[in-house]
Amino acid sequence: MEMRGRLKKRKKEYNNLAGFAFISPWLLGFLAFTIIPMIVSFYLSFTKYDILTSPQWVGLRNYYMILFKDTTFRHSIKVTFFFAFVSVPIRLIFALFLAVLFNQKRKFVGLYRTIFYIPSIIGGSVAVAVMWRQLFGSSGALNSLLAVLGLNIRMGWVRNPYTAIWTLILLSAWQFGSPMLIFLAGLKQIPVSLYEAAVIDGANWWQKFGRITLPMLSPVIFFNLIMQLISGFMMFTQSYIITEGGPFDRTLVYIMYLFRRAFSFYEMGYACALAWILLVVIAVITLIVFKTAPHWVYYESKGEF
Protein backbone atom coordinates (compact mmCIF):
# COMPACT_ATOMS: atom_id res chain seq x y z
CA MET A 1 0.00 0.00 0.00
CA GLU A 2 2.70 2.41 1.05
CA MET A 3 4.76 1.31 -1.90
CA ARG A 4 1.92 2.17 -4.25
CA GLY A 5 1.52 5.57 -2.62
CA ARG A 6 5.16 6.33 -3.13
CA LEU A 7 4.97 5.18 -6.72
CA LYS A 8 2.04 7.47 -7.29
CA LYS A 9 3.92 10.37 -5.82
CA ARG A 10 6.88 9.65 -8.01
CA LYS A 11 4.67 9.51 -11.05
CA LYS A 12 3.18 12.84 -10.09
CA GLU A 13 6.58 14.45 -9.83
CA TYR A 14 7.63 12.88 -13.07
CA ASN A 15 4.50 14.22 -14.76
CA ASN A 16 5.03 17.70 -13.37
CA LEU A 17 8.45 17.74 -14.91
CA ALA A 18 7.38 16.15 -18.19
CA GLY A 19 4.43 18.53 -18.48
CA PHE A 20 6.64 21.57 -18.21
CA ALA A 21 9.14 20.03 -20.58
CA PHE A 22 6.44 19.57 -23.19
CA ILE A 23 4.91 23.01 -22.90
CA SER A 24 8.26 24.79 -22.59
CA PRO A 25 8.39 25.57 -26.36
CA TRP A 26 5.35 27.72 -25.78
CA LEU A 27 6.13 28.93 -22.26
CA LEU A 28 9.60 30.26 -23.11
CA GLY A 29 8.34 32.04 -26.22
CA PHE A 30 5.40 33.38 -24.26
CA LEU A 31 7.73 34.90 -21.67
CA ALA A 32 10.29 36.20 -24.15
CA PHE A 33 8.03 37.49 -26.91
CA THR A 34 4.74 38.26 -25.20
CA ILE A 35 4.91 38.87 -21.44
CA ILE A 36 8.23 40.70 -21.22
CA PRO A 37 7.50 42.85 -24.31
CA MET A 38 4.12 43.69 -22.80
CA ILE A 39 5.70 44.83 -19.56
CA VAL A 40 8.37 46.80 -21.42
CA SER A 41 5.75 48.35 -23.68
CA PHE A 42 3.62 49.37 -20.71
CA TYR A 43 6.60 51.01 -19.05
CA LEU A 44 7.69 52.75 -22.24
CA SER A 45 4.22 54.16 -22.77
CA PHE A 46 4.98 56.48 -19.83
CA THR A 47 8.27 57.64 -21.30
CA LYS A 48 9.78 59.61 -24.11
CA TYR A 49 12.04 57.23 -25.99
CA ASP A 50 13.83 57.39 -29.34
CA ILE A 51 15.83 54.12 -28.99
CA LEU A 52 19.19 55.92 -29.21
CA THR A 53 19.03 57.74 -25.88
CA SER A 54 17.63 56.18 -22.74
CA PRO A 55 13.90 56.54 -21.99
CA GLN A 56 12.76 59.61 -20.04
CA TRP A 57 9.84 59.27 -17.65
CA VAL A 58 7.02 61.64 -18.65
CA GLY A 59 4.16 60.17 -16.62
CA LEU A 60 0.77 60.29 -18.31
CA ARG A 61 1.87 62.86 -20.85
CA ASN A 62 1.70 60.51 -23.86
CA TYR A 63 -1.81 59.39 -22.99
CA TYR A 64 -2.89 62.95 -22.34
CA MET A 65 -1.50 64.15 -25.66
CA ILE A 66 -3.08 61.29 -27.60
CA LEU A 67 -6.51 61.53 -26.04
CA PHE A 68 -6.84 65.30 -25.86
CA LYS A 69 -4.49 66.95 -28.33
CA ASP A 70 -3.72 64.55 -31.14
CA THR A 71 -6.11 65.23 -34.04
CA THR A 72 -4.42 62.65 -36.26
CA PHE A 73 -5.15 60.00 -33.63
CA ARG A 74 -8.82 60.92 -33.70
CA HIS A 75 -8.80 60.87 -37.45
CA SER A 76 -7.14 57.45 -37.66
CA ILE A 77 -9.63 56.04 -35.15
CA LYS A 78 -12.43 57.29 -37.38
CA VAL A 79 -10.87 55.77 -40.49
CA THR A 80 -10.29 52.46 -38.73
CA PHE A 81 -13.82 52.28 -37.34
CA PHE A 82 -15.24 53.10 -40.73
CA PHE A 83 -13.10 50.46 -42.38
CA ALA A 84 -13.85 47.74 -39.82
CA PHE A 85 -17.55 48.39 -39.44
CA VAL A 86 -18.17 48.62 -43.17
CA SER A 87 -15.86 45.93 -44.50
CA VAL A 88 -16.62 43.25 -41.92
CA PRO A 89 -20.41 43.20 -42.41
CA ILE A 90 -19.97 43.22 -46.19
CA ARG A 91 -17.52 40.36 -45.97
CA LEU A 92 -19.75 38.37 -43.64
CA ILE A 93 -22.92 38.91 -45.67
CA PHE A 94 -21.10 37.82 -48.79
CA ALA A 95 -19.62 34.81 -46.98
CA LEU A 96 -23.05 33.81 -45.70
CA PHE A 97 -24.64 34.25 -49.11
CA LEU A 98 -22.08 31.97 -50.74
CA ALA A 99 -22.21 29.47 -47.89
CA VAL A 100 -25.98 29.14 -48.36
CA LEU A 101 -25.43 28.85 -52.10
CA PHE A 102 -22.85 26.11 -51.63
CA ASN A 103 -24.72 24.22 -48.96
CA GLN A 104 -27.05 22.68 -51.54
CA LYS A 105 -26.78 19.17 -52.85
CA ARG A 106 -25.80 19.89 -56.41
CA LYS A 107 -23.12 18.97 -58.87
CA PHE A 108 -19.73 20.63 -58.41
CA VAL A 109 -20.47 22.33 -55.07
CA GLY A 110 -17.40 20.71 -53.55
CA LEU A 111 -15.33 22.19 -56.33
CA TYR A 112 -17.00 25.60 -55.96
CA ARG A 113 -16.27 25.72 -52.25
CA THR A 114 -12.62 25.05 -52.90
CA ILE A 115 -12.23 27.48 -55.77
CA PHE A 116 -14.02 30.31 -54.00
CA TYR A 117 -11.60 29.99 -51.14
CA ILE A 118 -8.66 30.95 -53.35
CA PRO A 119 -8.95 34.75 -52.90
CA SER A 120 -8.50 34.19 -49.18
CA ILE A 121 -5.22 32.33 -49.49
CA ILE A 122 -3.62 35.03 -51.62
CA GLY A 123 -5.56 38.10 -50.45
CA GLY A 124 -3.13 39.13 -47.74
CA SER A 125 -0.07 39.02 -49.97
CA VAL A 126 1.99 41.88 -51.30
CA ALA A 127 1.40 40.56 -54.82
CA VAL A 128 -2.35 41.04 -54.57
CA ALA A 129 -1.98 44.44 -52.94
CA VAL A 130 0.28 45.59 -55.76
CA MET A 131 -2.15 44.20 -58.31
CA TRP A 132 -5.07 45.94 -56.61
CA ARG A 133 -3.31 49.28 -56.91
CA GLN A 134 -3.00 48.83 -60.67
CA LEU A 135 -6.49 47.40 -61.07
CA PHE A 136 -7.95 50.62 -59.69
CA GLY A 137 -5.29 52.94 -61.08
CA SER A 138 -6.10 55.69 -63.57
CA SER A 139 -5.34 53.45 -66.55
CA GLY A 140 -6.20 50.23 -64.74
CA ALA A 141 -8.62 47.50 -65.65
CA LEU A 142 -11.64 49.07 -63.97
CA ASN A 143 -11.44 52.33 -65.90
CA SER A 144 -10.74 50.40 -69.07
CA LEU A 145 -13.82 48.29 -68.43
CA LEU A 146 -15.91 51.38 -67.77
CA ALA A 147 -14.61 52.94 -70.98
CA VAL A 148 -16.01 49.98 -72.90
CA LEU A 149 -19.36 50.79 -71.31
CA GLY A 150 -18.99 54.39 -72.50
CA LEU A 151 -17.91 55.92 -69.22
CA ASN A 152 -14.69 57.78 -69.62
CA ILE A 153 -13.15 58.14 -66.20
CA ARG A 154 -9.58 59.31 -65.98
CA MET A 155 -9.41 59.26 -62.23
CA GLY A 156 -7.36 56.79 -60.22
CA TRP A 157 -9.67 55.23 -57.65
CA VAL A 158 -6.76 54.62 -55.31
CA ARG A 159 -5.68 58.26 -55.43
CA ASN A 160 -9.11 59.80 -55.03
CA PRO A 161 -9.82 60.92 -51.45
CA TYR A 162 -13.40 59.66 -51.59
CA THR A 163 -12.90 56.29 -53.24
CA ALA A 164 -9.52 55.21 -51.84
CA ILE A 165 -10.93 53.64 -48.68
CA TRP A 166 -13.49 51.75 -50.75
CA THR A 167 -10.80 50.00 -52.76
CA LEU A 168 -9.44 48.70 -49.45
CA ILE A 169 -12.92 47.69 -48.28
CA LEU A 170 -13.45 45.84 -51.54
CA LEU A 171 -10.17 43.97 -51.14
CA SER A 172 -11.16 43.02 -47.62
CA ALA A 173 -14.60 41.82 -48.72
CA TRP A 174 -12.91 39.79 -51.45
CA GLN A 175 -11.30 37.62 -48.77
CA PHE A 176 -14.54 36.04 -47.64
CA GLY A 177 -13.20 32.46 -47.81
CA SER A 178 -12.60 31.62 -44.15
CA PRO A 179 -15.91 32.92 -42.80
CA MET A 180 -17.61 31.18 -45.74
CA LEU A 181 -16.14 27.82 -44.77
CA ILE A 182 -16.99 28.38 -41.11
CA PHE A 183 -20.58 29.26 -42.09
CA LEU A 184 -20.72 26.11 -44.20
CA ALA A 185 -19.63 24.00 -41.25
CA GLY A 186 -22.30 25.74 -39.16
CA LEU A 187 -25.01 25.15 -41.76
CA LYS A 188 -24.24 21.44 -41.77
CA GLN A 189 -24.92 21.32 -38.03
CA ILE A 190 -28.52 22.49 -38.39
CA PRO A 191 -30.83 19.46 -38.05
CA VAL A 192 -32.74 18.69 -41.25
CA SER A 193 -35.79 17.84 -39.17
CA LEU A 194 -36.28 21.54 -38.40
CA TYR A 195 -36.65 22.35 -42.08
CA GLU A 196 -38.90 19.36 -42.67
CA ALA A 197 -41.20 20.49 -39.89
CA ALA A 198 -41.24 24.00 -41.34
CA VAL A 199 -42.18 22.68 -44.79
CA ILE A 200 -45.09 20.78 -43.27
CA ASP A 201 -46.19 24.06 -41.67
CA GLY A 202 -46.09 25.64 -45.11
CA ALA A 203 -43.07 27.91 -44.63
CA ASN A 204 -41.44 29.46 -47.70
CA TRP A 205 -37.72 29.84 -48.30
CA TRP A 206 -37.43 33.26 -46.65
CA GLN A 207 -39.31 32.13 -43.57
CA LYS A 208 -37.08 29.08 -43.26
CA PHE A 209 -33.99 31.27 -43.65
CA GLY A 210 -35.16 33.91 -41.18
CA ARG A 211 -36.65 31.64 -38.55
CA ILE A 212 -34.37 28.62 -38.69
CA THR A 213 -31.11 29.26 -40.52
CA LEU A 214 -30.22 32.64 -39.03
CA PRO A 215 -31.03 31.82 -35.39
CA MET A 216 -29.32 28.42 -35.59
CA LEU A 217 -26.32 30.02 -37.21
CA SER A 218 -26.11 32.98 -34.83
CA PRO A 219 -23.34 31.52 -32.64
CA VAL A 220 -21.20 31.10 -35.74
CA ILE A 221 -22.06 34.61 -36.93
CA PHE A 222 -21.09 35.89 -33.51
CA PHE A 223 -17.76 34.07 -33.61
CA ASN A 224 -17.00 35.30 -37.12
CA LEU A 225 -17.96 38.86 -36.21
CA ILE A 226 -15.51 39.02 -33.31
CA MET A 227 -12.64 37.41 -35.18
CA GLN A 228 -13.12 39.56 -38.26
CA LEU A 229 -13.55 42.80 -36.32
CA ILE A 230 -10.27 42.25 -34.53
CA SER A 231 -8.44 41.52 -37.77
CA GLY A 232 -10.18 44.53 -39.33
CA PHE A 233 -8.71 46.78 -36.65
CA MET A 234 -5.27 45.37 -37.38
CA MET A 235 -5.27 46.12 -41.09
CA PHE A 236 -1.91 47.41 -42.23
CA THR A 237 -0.24 45.84 -45.26
CA GLN A 238 -2.99 46.73 -47.73
CA SER A 239 -3.16 50.34 -46.65
CA TYR A 240 0.61 50.60 -46.59
CA ILE A 241 1.05 49.28 -50.12
CA ILE A 242 -2.10 50.30 -51.96
CA THR A 243 -2.83 53.78 -50.67
CA GLU A 244 0.12 54.52 -48.38
CA GLY A 245 -2.34 55.95 -45.90
CA GLY A 246 -3.26 58.64 -48.37
CA PRO A 247 -4.63 60.58 -50.09
CA PHE A 248 -4.67 63.27 -47.37
CA ASP A 249 -4.60 60.56 -44.69
CA ARG A 250 -7.98 59.33 -45.84
CA THR A 251 -6.88 55.72 -45.41
CA LEU A 252 -4.59 56.27 -42.44
CA VAL A 253 -5.69 53.26 -40.42
CA TYR A 254 -4.63 52.98 -36.81
CA ILE A 255 -1.71 50.57 -37.20
CA MET A 256 -0.45 52.68 -40.07
CA TYR A 257 -0.44 55.75 -37.81
CA LEU A 258 1.24 53.80 -35.01
CA PHE A 259 3.86 52.59 -37.48
CA ARG A 260 4.49 56.15 -38.63
CA ARG A 261 4.92 57.44 -35.07
CA ALA A 262 7.27 54.60 -34.19
CA PHE A 263 9.39 54.15 -37.28
CA SER A 264 9.25 57.47 -39.10
CA PHE A 265 9.40 59.78 -36.08
CA TYR A 266 11.05 57.31 -33.67
CA GLU A 267 8.61 58.22 -30.90
CA MET A 268 8.61 54.78 -29.32
CA GLY A 269 7.03 55.81 -26.02
CA TYR A 270 4.21 57.60 -27.79
CA ALA A 271 3.68 54.64 -30.12
CA CYS A 272 3.56 52.23 -27.16
CA ALA A 273 0.83 54.36 -25.62
CA LEU A 274 -1.02 54.21 -28.96
CA ALA A 275 -0.72 50.40 -28.92
CA TRP A 276 -2.18 50.18 -25.42
CA ILE A 277 -5.05 52.46 -26.32
CA LEU A 278 -5.79 50.26 -29.33
CA LEU A 279 -5.77 47.19 -27.12
CA VAL A 280 -8.27 48.83 -24.78
CA VAL A 281 -10.46 49.91 -27.72
CA ILE A 282 -10.52 46.37 -29.09
CA ALA A 283 -11.24 44.92 -25.67
CA VAL A 284 -14.14 47.34 -25.18
CA ILE A 285 -15.61 46.58 -28.59
CA THR A 286 -15.30 42.85 -28.04
CA LEU A 287 -16.98 43.29 -24.68
CA ILE A 288 -19.82 45.29 -26.22
CA VAL A 289 -20.37 42.63 -28.87
CA PHE A 290 -20.36 40.00 -26.12
CA LYS A 291 -22.88 42.02 -24.12
CA THR A 292 -25.24 42.20 -27.08
CA ALA A 293 -24.96 38.45 -27.62
CA PRO A 294 -27.88 37.38 -25.40
CA HIS A 295 -30.18 39.53 -27.54
CA TRP A 296 -29.38 37.89 -30.83
CA VAL A 297 -27.26 34.80 -30.34
CA TYR A 298 -29.23 31.63 -29.85
CA TYR A 299 -27.73 28.83 -27.80
CA GLU A 300 -29.49 25.52 -27.56
CA SER A 301 -28.07 24.77 -24.14
CA LYS A 302 -28.50 27.93 -22.11
CA GLY A 303 -25.95 29.17 -19.66
CA GLU A 304 -23.00 27.41 -21.17
CA PHE A 305 -20.58 29.73 -22.83
Query: Which parts of 116-175 interact with another protein (CB under 8 A)?
Result: 116-122, 124-128, 130-135, 139-145, 148, 174-175
SS3 of 48, please? Answer: strand
Which amino acid makes up residue 144?
Answer: S
Contact partners, residue 252, CB within 8 Å, separation at least 6: 72, 75, 76, 79, 239, 245, 246
Give the interface segment with another protein, choosing from 1-9, 79-87, 159-167, 233-241 (CB under 8 A). 233-241
Give strand pairing partners of 56.
Answer: 48
Q: Please, which residue, 197 or 279, has the CB nearer to another protein? A: 279
Closest to another protein by CB, 38 or 197: 38
Which sign, positive or negative, has the C-alpha torsion 159, 254, 61, 272?
negative
Query: Cα 18 from chain centroid?
Result: 36
> Residue count at the site for another protein (CB under 8 A)?
95
Shortest gap between Cβ of 233 and another protein (angstroms)? 7
Shortest Å distance, C-beta 178 to another protein? 3
Residues 6+ apart with CB under 8 A from 128: 122, 171
Q: Which of residues 38-77 bind another protein (CB under 8 A)?
A: 38, 40-41, 44, 51
Candidates 77, 100, 101, 285: give the one binding another protein (CB under 8 A).
101
Nearer to another protein, 43 or 195 (CB): 43
Please pick, from the candidates 6, 7, 8, 22, the single residue that binds another protein as defined by CB under 8 A.
22
Write the CA distances from 62 to 53, 181, 240, 291, integer angstroms: 18, 43, 25, 31
Q: Is 23 in the site for another protein (CB under 8 A)?
A: yes
Q: What is the amino acid identity at position 114?
A: T
**Touching another protein, residues 276-295 (CB under 8 A):** 276, 278-279, 282, 286
Nearer to another protein, 165 or 235 (CB): 235
The three-point CA angle 222-223-227 to 5° equals 120
Binders of another protein among residues 257 to 276 (CB under 8 A) are: 258, 262-263, 268, 271-272, 275-276
